[in-house]
Amino acid sequence: MTSSNLRNAAAVAALSATALLLAGCVPNGAPNATSIAVTANDEGCEVANATGTSGTLTFTVQNDGTKVTEFYLLGSNKLTIVGEVENIAPGTSRDLTVQVGPGEYFTACKPGMIGAGVGHAAFTVSGDAVATTPEEDAVVAQYVAYVKTQTEELVPRVGEFVAAYKAGNDDEARALFPIARINYERIEPTAEQFGDLDPKIDYRKPGAIEEGLPFTGFHRIEQDLWLDRAIENYSQPEKNHYPKDDLVALTPEERATIGDQLVADISELNDKVRSPDFTLTLADITEGAKGLLDEVAAPDGKLPGEENEFAHTDLYDFTANVEGAQVAFDTVRALLVANGGEELATELDARFVDMLDTLAGYGSYEAGFVSYDTVDATKRNELAAKLTALSEPMSRLTAGVVGS
């Protein structure tokens, strides 16, 4: 283990306490939502009711297991993610609030936040389609338009990155890698709704192996571009159980295959969000904002430095996640204030400024961010404290925006 690895290991250990505190933040349930209890453990999860009435539902997930877990509400195909809540530490509970219409759904948990989900159970929603006001429809339309602009910008950026990679211009590809990811990281919870697209685009190596999926997308290319670091990283004793046969340089033909697939998957994402049928709910927006901050704090996320484990470009993703959460909040801000949430809105304004100002101390997209493996444990704990200070009021956003 190198000194850098030791420093990172210490940072991860120090940050885990903060992550646990974050996972135990206050409930996010809407005041008039129907509440459904969920009990999770290391083997599965049990949902108290197998049915619900259309409208706003809050699943309160109690983790009685020993592993950090996630809870999902899935579509009838078991792939579409209607809503999810991550980072539920052992002994704590978190809420997932969704707005759902009548139909057939499935619930599931993911102990350890890796591998295939467990405890899949049918969940039926009856009643009428969810009613919305013109003001709410306008807010949703505004955010959907934002998502579309992000995918439209994402397509050419990924195309430029992949072209450099396929051409063997590795220095250029390494420089473009974090830039190509910015738009995706701003809207990742939306992309995660499209079943297997997010795993193909953005799964890290451990996740793909645990779920038996091909290792593709951004991080497969990252491994190839920073191969020496990947070999060093997966030579550590705690990673001995991972296969090593892919720790060799890809051929030009293999580069073309993996690069073309990423371009195709990003193009498919763009097509899906530009479809006339694509829409979101208010809860999708507010829970998505919270989810973006969860992406930073997750054990395999940016804060521990695990997201980009070879490139160490986590501060780009960190900033993009926070920017995406801020846009989502700004979009619903007027509804929050109209519902009497001016104090919460003011607090979130200040917390976002504080978080983004702190991140700006490490660089910018234009000038570049420092390599995250040079950010020591003390500084990572400072980032974690700022993130926790932002995440706590963010956990109350859905309750302040979504009525019933």
Lowest average pLDDT, out of 140-144, 229-233, 240-244, 348-352, goes to 240-244
State residue 298's pLDDT score. 83
Q: pTM higher than 0.95 for the full model?
A: no
- Looking at the predicted structure, is the pLDDT value of residue 183 above 90? yes
Cα three-residue angle 130-195-176, rounded to 5 degrees: 115
State residue 44's pLDDT score. 87
Q: Are 193 and 215 in contact (CB under 8 A)?
A: no
Model confidence band, residue 30 (pLDDT cutoffs 50, 70, 90) = low
State residue 120's pLDDT score. 92
Mean pLDDT of all residues in 11-30: 39
State residue 316's pLDDT score. 98
Mean pLDDT of all residues in 79-93: 86
Quick: pLDDT tens for 286-311: 999 999 999 898 877 899 999 999 99
Model confidence band, residue 169 (pLDDT cutoffs 50, 70, 90) = very high
Model confidence band, residue 97 (pLDDT cutoffs 50, 70, 90) = confident
Could you tell me which of 195, 190, 189, 217 has the C-alpha nearest to residue 205? 217
Instruction: Tell me which of 91 and 2 has the higher pLDDT.
Output: 91
Alpha helices in 226-341 (DSSP H): 227-233, 252-274, 282-297, 314-338
Instruction: Tell me which of 330 and 76 has the higher pLDDT.
Output: 330
Q: Are 321 and 293 in contact (CB under 8 A)?
A: yes
Mean pLDDT of all residues in 312-317: 98
Mean pLDDT of all residues in 186-209: 89
State residue 358's pLDDT score. 98
CA–CA gap between residue 170 and residue 176 (Å, rounded): 10
CA–CA gap between residue 174 and residue 166 (Å, rounded): 12
Cα three-residue angle 86-184-9, rounded to 5 degrees: 55
| Cβ atoms < 10 Å from Cβ of 379 | 15
State residue 117's pLDDT score. 83
State residue 3's pLDDT score. 32
CA–CA gap between residue 312 and residue 306 (Å, rounded): 8
Mean pLDDT of all residues in 172-198: 93
CA–CA gap between residue 29 and residue 27 (Å, rounded): 6
Instruction: Tell me which of 380 and 33 has the higher pLDDT.
Output: 380
Q: Express as a percent the part of the chain with pLDDT over 90.
A: 69
- Name every residue whose Cβ is closer than 8 Å to that of residue 246 and which is 6 or more positions away in sequence: 215, 223
State residue 47's pLDDT score. 96
- Looking at the predicted structure, is the pLDDT value of residue 128 above 90? no
State residue 403's pLDDT score. 62
